[in-house]
Amino acid sequence: SCQVAFHNQTALMRRIIAPELKRARFGCDQSEDELKVGGCPYAVLVDISALENMQSTLQILRTDHELGAVIAVCGPVVDSSPRLIHAFRSGVFDAYLVEDETCLDDLVPSIKLALEKKRLELSTKRTTQDFTQELGRRTRSLVKANLELADTYEETLKALVMALDSREKATAGHSIRVAYFTCYLSILMGIEGDDLQDIYRGSLLHDIGKIGIPDAILLKPGKLTFDEFEHMKEHTVLAKKFLNGIRYLDRASEIPYYHHEKWNGGGYPEQLRGENIPIAARIFAIADVYDALRSKRCYKDPMTHEVATDIITKDTGSHFDPRVAEVFLGQDETVWDELDRASRSELTSFEIMHTVCNQIIASHSTAELEPEESLV
């Protein structure tokens, strides 16, 4: 049966209201405390004509009874209207002036309506809680899946780079070094977030197209013939074909495809000029050439930093973007040495690279300050 509790057992409750509720098959035998722990909606009737501090009591009841609908009743007292008005203002579900049994026609329907409202509120609350918990669970599951997917991407990149290094042993370590160099310059030029991560991936995979170049050409110790060089140039187009359709590498493919374009339009594969070349490829071009000049090859000895930067300075405006070259040439040789050492870590990932680059930028920025301008 539907449950009703009497907050204060007055004569009005016992003589008039209780018999009417029992005829309507309402249970009135349990106390408020017993109903509160029952977990089901119930009604709390309070005789406001018998309360000393009516408004405070009603507010406490509303707060204390999460599942209870508070209904105020008032006996035949002088000028009861203000008490009923205060009861409504205190947020009770309904309020009645009860003088005798003839005044109870609407009380039972009102209690039933109050209980139904409480049931709906409880159902909605539980549904919301269940939805929130399920949403939280699924969100955590999605975050975990995304992290696992990101790890898979990272491991795939490393596997591809290792495959390139194992085939072209003379340039082992080149891909990860130029990734560090390129990302360092990119951060200095204000590139961050997803764009920086695309640059990191593109730098690692810049020579992925060489997988399609025959060993006789790729591993030739001497100078390539004209026809061999023309064949070698196809590695940019092959890279685009290899990466085409891999969604997470879509934008990263700019570097593998465009990194041999030149500022003056004399590069390949599309002879793009100036700012028509994607900025990622323009930044990478300097990092790539610098590392090639500083590295030992079967056909040359490594060059010093001074000789390498002289060559880059000479080719600025023809091969290289002047704005990128200015940023590059403004860096001390020790920057590239630090990045080189960092790139040799087996734990290298985008997050590690990003952190290392920012730390080196911060350390060199502090070192360049005059003593009186030191941040310390």
Residues 167 and 217: beta-carbon distance below 8 Å: no
Any idea what the Cα angle at residue 193 is, between residues 148 and 265, rounded to 5°?
115
Q: What is the DSSP string of 202-263?
A: HHHTTTGGGGGS-HHHHT-SSPPPHHHHHHHTTHHHHHHHHHTT-GGGTGGGHHHHHTT--T
Which amino acid is it at 372?
A: E
The pLDDT, as a whole number, for residue 289 is 96
- Ranked by mean pLDDT, the top range of 58-67, 84-93, 285-294, 343-352 is 285-294
The pLDDT, as a whole number, for residue 308 is 96
CA distance 350 to 373: 33
Number of H helices, E strands in the chain: 17, 5
Give the model's confidence band at 150: pLDDT under 50 very low, under 70 low, under 90 confident, else very high: low
Strand pairing category for 26-27 and 2-6? parallel
Q: Which residue has the higher pLDDT, 89 or 367?
A: 89
What's the mean pLDDT in 220-248? 87
- The one catalytic residue among 36, 112, 158, 210: 210
Q: 60's torsion region: left (phi>0), alpha (psi -120 to 50) or beta? A: alpha
Q: 233's torsion region: left (phi>0), alpha (psi -120 to 50) or beta? A: alpha
pLDDT at 137 over 90: no
| Least confidently predicted of 85-89, 301-305, 351-355 | 85-89
Please give the biggest Cα pair distance in the chain: 115
pLDDT at 374 over 50: no
> Three-class SS string for 346-357?
CCCCHHHHHHHH
pLDDT at 340 over 50: yes
CA proximity to 266, closest of 277, 256, 251: 277
Q: What is the mean pLDDT of the chain?
A: 84
The pLDDT, as a whole number, for residue 349 is 84
pLDDT at 85 over 70: yes
Element (H, E) at 6: strand 2-6
Any idea what the Cα angle at residue 229 is, between residues 323 and 286, rounded to 5°?
15
State both tokens at 82: 């203000």
Q: Which residue has the tokens 């406001």?
A: 48
The pLDDT, as a whole number, for residue 370 is 46
CA distance 237 to 184: 27
Give the model's confidence band at 255: pLDDT under 50 very low, under 70 low, under 90 confident, else very high: very high
Q: Is 210 part of the annotated catalytic residue set?
A: yes
State both tokens at 196: 């920086």
CA distance 92 to 83: 12
What's the mean pLDDT in 369-373? 44
The pLDDT, as a whole number, for residue 287 is 97
**What is the percent of the chain where pLDDT is above 70?**
90
- SS3 call for 41: coil
DSSP class of residue 373? Answer: G
The pLDDT, as a whole number, for residue 200 is 93
- Ranked by mean pLDDT, the top range of 104-108, 225-229, 322-326 is 322-326
What's the mean pLDDT in 174-180? 91
What's the mean pLDDT in 137-152? 71
Residues 299 and 261: beta-carbon distance below 8 Å: no
Give the model's confidence band at 199: pLDDT under 50 very low, under 70 low, under 90 confident, else very high: very high
Give the model's confidence band at 170: pLDDT under 50 very low, under 70 low, under 90 confident, else very high: low
Q: 271's torsion region: left (phi>0), alpha (psi -120 to 50) or beta? A: left
What's the mean pLDDT in 203-212? 88
State both tokens at 255: 């570097």
The pLDDT, as a whole number, for residue 72 is 86
Report yes or no on whether pTM surpasses 0.85: no
